[in-house]
Amino acid sequence: MSRDVTEPAVVPAGVTSTPAPTARRGLGGRAAKARRRLSNPWASGIAICLAVLWSIPTLGLLVTSFRPELDIRRSGWWTVFGDAAAGEGVFTFRNYETALFGSSTSLADYFINSVVITLPSVLIPISVALLAAYAFAWIDFPGRDWLFIVVFALQIIPIQVTMIPLLTTYVNVGINGSFWPVWLSHSIFALPLAIFLLHNFMKDIPPSLVEAARVDGAGHVKIFFRVVMPLLVPAIAAFGIFQFLWVWNDLLVSLVFAGGTPNVAPLTVRVAEMAGSRGGDWHILSAGAFISMIVPLIVFLSLQRYFVRGLLAGSVKG
Amino acid sequence: MTPTSSARRRRTMLKAGAGASVAALLLAACADTDSGDGGGGGGQAAERGSYEIDCSKYDEFGDLDGTTVHVYTTIVEPEGTAHQASYEPFTECTGVQIEYEASREQEAQLPVRVRAGNPPDIAIVNQPGLLETLVRQDDAVLPAPAQVEAEVDENFSAEWKEYGTVDGTFYAAPYDANVKSFVWYSPSAFSDAGYEVPETWDELISLSEQIASAGDVKPWCVGVESGAATGWPGTDWIEDVVLRTAGPDVYDQWYQHEIPFNDPQIVEAWDTAGEILKNEDFVNAGLGGVDSIATTAWDGAGYGILDNTCWMHRAANFYQAQWPEGTEVAEDGDVWAFYLPAETTDERPTLVAGPFIAAFTDRPEVQAFQTYLASADWANAKAVATPEGGWVSANQGLDPENLATDFDRLVYETLTDEATVARYDASDLMPSQVGSGTFFTGIVNWLTGQSTQQVLDQIENTWPTS
């Protein structure tokens, strides 16, 4: 899989750099310089410091999630290291037990709801955005640039502004209370960025490739599936991960459009409730947060190389 | 009550409930209802015990079998389970299914749904201020039907009915009730040290001085941190003192803005509260200096009483649920609460709060359910369905015997006492810019060094002009 992906991605870069050997030397020189600069011990030191600082709150939450309720309220999470060194038993799985089994609705139901919400909310915008991006990149129609600017500009609309009008529309159409409002809303909110990213990536494909295919008699459909799609896999994967994380972690959209009833509410809605009616139960909340984190962690860690490569390919471009 | 006796009681309840659930199963088999729901409900009823109600009351609403009422509240689990259980007698009577939806974001989400044309049938609204907004701005809440009003007239005092009334029309019946004028303390520590529970404000201050001079432990522990709502426990303190130094009439003028927020009488009340809250000798026991009040979480602030690092903690009756598991809440136990004294023993001004039941649709099953929630039957059913305690209603038809704990009975007595002059939490009645905005931040500024006059002038300037 990975070889299929990397090889075509290298082709455009090779094509552009071969005509000028000097440029390649220049590139090599720059790369070496960049490598020297990036491997500077100071830079590495600062990066490590930032990473540690950035992870401390998460580490604190992780430690907290294993502490008994009373200890959490009485002392800070950092005190456990001293206590543990002194040989006191300070950790417990009770918070996880309560978070998993303590409610009348099993957490598994919310997990399933989250999956049911997330998959279409990722697939719908990607499919639509791919078609739109292809049209913007390779089909010349009147008003194309203006339309593209409009789509691009839609990104600046804050989603909060759209909520009441959208919800009114869903109620009038009569699909409220199902999964449709959530799927559609996530798709709507994702499309401007998706189209923009995929369009930029498509523009990177050398025109000669598309023209060659056209000379060989391929139509738009064939070019799209045979030439463009294989080259786009890193970008699609990158945007897919991006959208997946956004939808999985979203609370606002699902609260407004799905509501809190157990038959449509995702995991985030349940985790937010774990704090209790008066917000005092955050020993359970901390455990719930880590349970809900498992899936995005797996997805991100297993696909992260696409994430970085695809995002750079789509956005950093002259 | 000792742990063993409570366990024994639960076991006998289980037996009683098992019989009931067998009956319920037979009924379910005959009526061919949704077996999944029936099974779950039966299990819960077994643990909680159930309450028999008079079903004939709901005949006038017609045949409601098979209908559904959607209720939207802020009460999430674990407390939500007891609320759902308390609706079961109604469901058994009428066949109406109650769809319970709870979210901590309900206060923000409810107006969104109302404006989008998608309101719930019934919402449990936590603040009269929100009710007012929904009535005046959105014109969405329906006036209470005659049956509900009759129940409220019978079961609640005129004050409570007034809080559910907007512009002369009665909309919403009271749901739960909280009493905020309590001071938590450790009875055993008090008797060991020979301290008496104070009965007037002066006694309270002299007790505080006595404790402060007796040892290295300061008398009061206070915490007002509560995330985005940081400051609210402080507003309760101030409101309680305004009720005591200025009196209920001035209190009413104050929240209605008939007198300015920085009126001299209000300044005096803040300064009186400051005698405790801003006195380095009195606060903040076991937690630091005066400015530590602003950063101490309200829900853990009173734990010093258990560790003997603090003597007194003023907090509402619902603080009962915040004590760690295993804490004995009893008059001779680990913790107990006394009424925050007034200037004399004759006065009993009391700060209360509680949610209201607002209806957005007028289908017969919704009105029947509204009637049920306003009735003494529901209050008793809820008390029986809450074996862990921590729940009280201002409903005068509630039998105190049904309440789960001695402390709940004390709260109920305070609520229904003839001498009690109850006033609703002012910050919930003020416009939200002040009531849940500058009043909160003002408390923090005040505790971290600003003068009373300065803070009150700032709050007065933010009062909406229209």
A160 reaches B (C-beta below 8 A): no
pLDDT in tens, A227-269: 888 888 888 888 898 899 999 999 989 888 887 677 888 888 8
Q: How high is the mean pLDDT of chain A?
A: 82
B286, B310 Cβ separation under 8 angstroms: yes
A176, A261 Cβ separation under 8 angstroms: no
Which member of B75, B115, B227 has the closest CB to residue A277? B75
With b for 16 or more beta-carbon neighbours within 10 A and e for fewer, the A131-154 pattern comes to ebbbbbbbeeeeeeeeebeebeee
The angle at the Cα of B69, spanning B68 to B71, to the nearest 5 degrees, equals 145
Q: DSSP string spanning B57-104?
A: GGGGG---TT-EEEEEES--TTHHHHHHHHTHHHHHHH-PEEEEEE-T
* Residue A301 binned pLDDT confidence (cut-offs 50, 70, 90): confident
* Residue A312 binned pLDDT confidence (cut-offs 50, 70, 90): low
CB contacts < 8 Å between A and B, how many? 79
By C-alpha distance, which of B173, B183, B207, B219 is closest to B376? B173
The SS3 call for residue B428 is helix
A75 reaches B (C-beta below 8 A): no
List all residues 6 or more positions away from B232 whose beta carbon is below 8 Å from its beta carbon. Answer: B224, B226, B298, B427, B436, B440
List all residues 6 or more positions away from A304 whose beta carbon is below 8 Å from its beta carbon. Answer: A241
Which pLDDT belongs to residue B433? 85
Tens of pLDDT, residue by residue, chain B (466 residues): 334 344 434 433 434 444 444 444 434 333 333 333 333 333 333 356 678 888 888 888 988 889 999 999 988 887 888 899 999 999 998 999 999 988 888 888 898 899 988 899 999 998 888 898 899 888 999 999 999 999 999 999 888 999 899 999 999 999 999 999 999 999 999 999 999 999 999 999 999 999 999 878 899 999 999 888 899 999 999 999 999 999 999 999 999 999 999 999 999 999 999 999 999 999 888 888 888 999 988 888 888 899 889 999 999 998 888 888 788 888 888 999 999 999 998 889 999 999 999 999 999 999 999 999 999 999 999 999 888 888 999 999 999 999 988 999 999 999 988 888 999 999 998 888 898 889 999 999 999 989 999 999 999 999 988 6
A278 reaches B (C-beta below 8 A): yes
- Determine phi and psi for A207, rounding to 5 degrees: -55, -30
* E strands, chain A, in order: none
A105, A271 Cβ separation under 8 angstroms: no
- Distance from the Cα of A238 to chain B's closest Cα (Å) equals 32
pTM given for the model: 0.78
By C-alpha distance, which of A168, A124, A167 is closest to A255? A167
What domains does chain B contain, in order, with CATH numbers?
29-174+355-416 (3.40.190.10), 180-352+430-461 (3.40.190.10)
With b for 16 or more beta-carbon neighbours within 10 A and e for fewer, the B279-295 pattern comes to beebbbbbbeebebbbb
Asked if the model's pLDDT at residue A37 lies above 70, the reply is no
A76 reaches B (C-beta below 8 A): no
Sheet architecture: strand order including B122-125: B97-102, B68-73, B122-125, B356-359, B173-174
Domain ranges of chain A: 95-315
With b for 16 or more beta-carbon neighbours within 10 A and e for fewer, the B190-220 pattern comes to beeeebebbebbeebbebbeebbeeeebbbb
For the ranges A22-26, A202-206, B206-210, the lowest mean pLDDT is seen at: A22-26
pLDDT in tens, A69-101: 878 877 788 888 887 777 776 788 888 888 888
Residue of A278, A282, A283, A285 to mutate when probing chain B, most B C-beta within 10 A? A278
DSSP B303: G
**Which fold, A95-315?**
MetI-like fold (1.10.3720)
- B380: its two tokens: 């008793």
B456, B434 Cβ separation under 8 angstroms: no
